[in-house]
């Protein structure tokens, strides 16, 4: 694109300059002039290509490739512009939507089907909100957003239409949506305030909905563990807290976070079927007793899968004792074959076990436990999860916080 036109231009320029001092035939001058003209045309062509490429890059940078809607960057830019131009009498509504049940749909039918459903939702959402009333966006994953140019009383019907557009049901699946809305500038004067408030209200509604069948089943199972084995119940709560800290460190949120913490708190539910003589044995287990122990994750999955809302949790529980090198149980999975949630639960479970009193071992210090996790990274544990766990514990020691969805933090 540059070298060949440059050589032609340099050759033509040499001929023309030479013609100013010495006689050059008409043919030579015509060819030199034609070469310069062609170089100018080629340069103009290249310039137009670059202009079109730049326009395409700019368009792609604010467009979601899957749905064709504006992306998070476009939404934030529009939100900031709206807040800058609006007065106290002008109001707008930001509505954020998060799909309920989409992860289960994706896991059941595959990512291609999941992408197709998201693209379908994008088209339906765009049709549900006329351009004169606002714009719709896909923020990423299963999150969508609508920016409405109207007040809250007028917005209700349009928000309901958008929610309906993000709902689908069929044989073996049901996908709904949770929503959080903010009226601007009454409730939020900046884009960051609006996003934070809408996100908080969205997940407040989502947690409220989860408080039905799934949460009730979870609470029943935790109560069963408390009655049968109080120390095991406490251990599972602590593992849930640790998993929440690691999840936050690794950027896990939404439905995936909820399933992870439920799995962490219920990963040993299958031990309810293990005889007390094995659970409380002071010495090492023999081969027959190990056979019983290795079944507890399968039993746990079977118990949890009896409640459809906890089926994804059951899959995490089944693999919660798989090892990074493939020597774990029950399926001998290795590295990325093991679900991320299971890898996180495994690290958190090991840390709590090392630092707790057990029938066959005295508790060790946190420093010793972290050293053991680092030593097992790459064999027992996922190295990335171990790094995230170490960082999460360091952050917690600097500024203790209570993670979402969890009980009291361990000391």
- Do 162 and 243 belong to one domain? no
Residue of 41, 46, 51 lying closest to 2 (CA atoms): 46
**How far apart, in whole angstroms, are the C-alpha atoms of residue 273 and residue 292?**
9
What 8-state DSSP symbol labels residue 130?
A: -
Q: Are both 274 and 300 inside the same structural domain?
A: yes
Neighbouring residues of 97: CB distance < 8 A, sequence distance ≥ 6: 143, 144, 145, 146, 162, 163, 166, 177, 178, 179, 202
Find the domain containing 134 and state its range: 72-210
CA angle 14, 15, 18 (to 5 degrees): 85
Per the structure, how many domains does the chain have? Answer: 3
Same domain, 328 and 388: yes
pLDDT in tens, 310-321: 888 899 999 999
Residue 219 confidence (pLDDT): 65
Tell me: do 285 and 189 sit in the same domain. Answer: no
Quick one: 23 exposed, middle or buried, by C-beta within 10 A (0-12, 13-18, 19+)? exposed
For residue 185, say if its preceding peptide bond is cis, omega within 30 degrees of 0.
Answer: yes
Q: Clarify whether residues 238 and 151 are in a common domain.
A: no
The answer to whether residue 66 is domain-embedded is: no
List C-alpha distances in Å: 95 to 67, 143, 178, 256. 18, 11, 10, 22
Q: Note whether 88 and 223 are same-domain residues.
A: no
Please check whether residues 126 and 250 belong to one and the same domain.
no
Chunked mean pLDDT (size 10), the chain, 411 residues = 71 69 70 77 80 77 88 90 72 90 85 92 90 88 90 82 89 85 87 87 71 59 64 74 89 82 86 72 74 84 82 91 94 94 95 79 86 94 95 73 40 33
The pLDDT of residue 166: 92
Is the domain of 308 the same as that of 221? yes
pLDDT digits (tens, 9 = 90+) for 22-76: 776 777 767 777 777 777 787 778 778 888 888 777 777 778 989 999 999 999 9
Sheet holding 173-184, edge to edge: 134-140, 143-148, 92-100, 173-184, 168-170
- Residue 405 domain-assigned (yes or no): no
The answer to whether residue 368 sits within a structural domain is: yes
Q: Please check whether residue 67 lies inside any domain of the structure.
A: no
Where among 192, 210, 228 does a domain terminate? 210
Residue 406 lies in a domain: no
Both 190 and 150 in one domain: the answer is: yes
CATH number of domain containing 286: 1.10.3210.10
Residues 331 and 223 in one domain: yes
User: Residues 125, 55: one domain?
Assistant: no
Are 269 and 223 a contacting pair, CB within 8 Å? no
Of 176, 193, 210, the position where a domain reaches its end is 210
Q: Do the domain assignments include residue 409?
A: no
Does 372 reside within a domain?
yes
Does one domain contain both 358 and 274? yes
User: HSE-up of 249 (CA within 13 Å, CB side)?
Assistant: 21
**What is the per-residue pLDDT for 29?**
67
Q: Out of 12, 33, 61, pick the residue that ends a domain.
A: 61
User: Does residue 237 belong to any structural domain of this protein?
Assistant: yes
């Amino acid at each position: 694109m540059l070298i060949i036109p440059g050589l032609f231009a340099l050759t033509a320029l040499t001929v023309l300059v030479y013609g100013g001092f010495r006689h050059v035939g008409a043919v030579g001058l015509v060819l030199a002039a034609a070469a310069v003209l062609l170089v100018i045309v080629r340069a103009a062509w290249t310039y137009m290509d670059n202009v079109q490429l730049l326009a395409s890059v700019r368009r792609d940078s604010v467009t979601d490739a899957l749905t064709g809607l504006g992306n998070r960057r476009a939404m934030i830019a529009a939100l900031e512009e709206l807040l800058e131009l609006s007065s106290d009498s002008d109001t707008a509504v930001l509505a954020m939507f998060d799909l309920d049940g989409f992860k289960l749909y994706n896991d059941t039918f595959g990512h291609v089907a999941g992408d197709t459903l998201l693209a379908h939702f994008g088209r339906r959402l765009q049709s549900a909100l006329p351009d004169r009333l606002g714009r719709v966006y896909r923020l990423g994953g299963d999150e969508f957003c609508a920016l409405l140019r109207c007040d809250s009383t007028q917005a209700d019907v349009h928000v309901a239409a958008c929610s309906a557009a993000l709902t689908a049901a069929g044989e073996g699946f049901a996908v709904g949506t949770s929503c959080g809305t903010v009226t601007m500038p009454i409730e939020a004067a900046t884009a960051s305030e609006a996003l934070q408030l809408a996100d908080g209200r969205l997940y407040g509604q989502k947690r409220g909905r989860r408080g039905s069948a799934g949460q009730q089943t979870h609470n029943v199972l935790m109560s069963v563990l408390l009655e049968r084995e109080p120390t095991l119940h406490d251990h599972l709560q602590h593992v849930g807290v640790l998993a929440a800290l690691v999840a936050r460190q690794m950027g896990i949120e939404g439905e995936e976070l909820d399933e992870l913490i439920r799995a962490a708190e219920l990963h040993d539910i299958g031990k309810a079927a293990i005889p007390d003589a094995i659970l409380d044995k002071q010495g090492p287990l023999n081969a027959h007793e190990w056979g019983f122990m290795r079944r507890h994750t399968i039993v746990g999955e079977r118990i949890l899968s009896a409640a459809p809302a906890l089926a994804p949790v059951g899959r995490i529980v089944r693999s919660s004792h798989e090892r990074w090198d493939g020597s774990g149980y029950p399926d001998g999975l290795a590295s990325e074959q093991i679900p991320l949630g299971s890898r996180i639960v495994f690290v958190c479970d090991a840390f709590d076990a090392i630092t707790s009193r057990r029938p066959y071992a005295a508790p060790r210090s946190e420093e010793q436990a972290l050293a053991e996790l680092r030593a097992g990274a790459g064999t027992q544990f996922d190295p990335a999860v171990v790094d995230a766990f170490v960082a999460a514990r360091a952050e917690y020691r600097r500024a203790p916080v209570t993670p979402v969805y969890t009980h009291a933090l361990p000391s």
